[in-house]
């Protein structure tokens, strides 16, 4: 076995299904999409996602349009990539973990929603894909959830 084949075999032992099982139990629907922790995929990720029944990933930031990630060189199978962007991620606006992440400036929810709306408008005009990334522990509370409710 080549080093690449050994690495793939080791990664196949990681039970991606264990992340989908609790969601299926609670919601009654098995997830078909995946987002890698810290958005870190590797060369083998598309094959592993395909093998575990996922039809799309949303971890990469290299385009404004969805595209296919080849599963392997030997087949035409693919996983759809729904690209994301730092500009529409709440981490940069709200995250401050002293000594770990952030600058200490936590943005106003009103400013954040305005920025996201401008991004949405521009992406709509361009026919691009807009995927807002929100972390429950950052965006889902108090004034952050109601910042855009009255405007539009």
pLDDT digits (tens, 9 = 90+) for 33-86: 999 888 888 888 898 899 888 999 999 998 899 999 999 888 899 999 999 999
Q: Starting from the edge strand earliest in sequence, which strands make up the sheet with 56-57, in order?
A: 33-34, 56-57, 78-81, 67-70
> Pairing mode, if any, of strands 78-81 and 67-70?
antiparallel
pLDDT surpasses 50 at 8: yes
Counting Cα atoms < 13 Å in the Cβ hemisphere of 43 gives 9
pLDDT surpasses 70 at 19: no
Instruction: List the domain boundaries for the chain.
Output: 1-84, 85-152
| Whole-number Å distance between alpha carbons of 137 and 117 | 21
Beta strand segments in the chain, E:
33-34, 56-57, 67-70, 78-81
Hey, how many other C-beta atoms are within 10 angstroms of the C-beta on 84?
Answer: 20
Question: What is the per-residue pLDDT for 152?
Answer: 45
């Amino acid at each position: 076995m080549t080093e690449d084949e050994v690495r793939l075999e080791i990664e196949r032992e990681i039970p991606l299904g264990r992340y989908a099982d609790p969601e299926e139990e609670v919601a009654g629907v098995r997830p078909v999409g995946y987002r890698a922790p810290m958005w870190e995929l590797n060369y083998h990720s598309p094959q592993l996602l395909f093998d575990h029944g996922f039809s799309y990933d949303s971890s990469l930031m290299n385009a404004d349009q969805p595209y296919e990630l080849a599963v392997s060189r030997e087949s035409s199978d693919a996983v759809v990539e729904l690209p994301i962007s730092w500009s529409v991620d709440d981490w940069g606006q709200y995250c401050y973990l002293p000594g770990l992440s952030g600058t200490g400036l936590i943005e106003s929810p009103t400013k954040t929603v305005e920025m996201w709306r401008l991004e949405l408008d521009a992406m709509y005009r361009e026919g691009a894909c807009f995927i807002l990334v929100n972390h429950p522990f950052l965006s889902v509370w108090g004034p952050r959830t109601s910042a855009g409710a009255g405007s539009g």
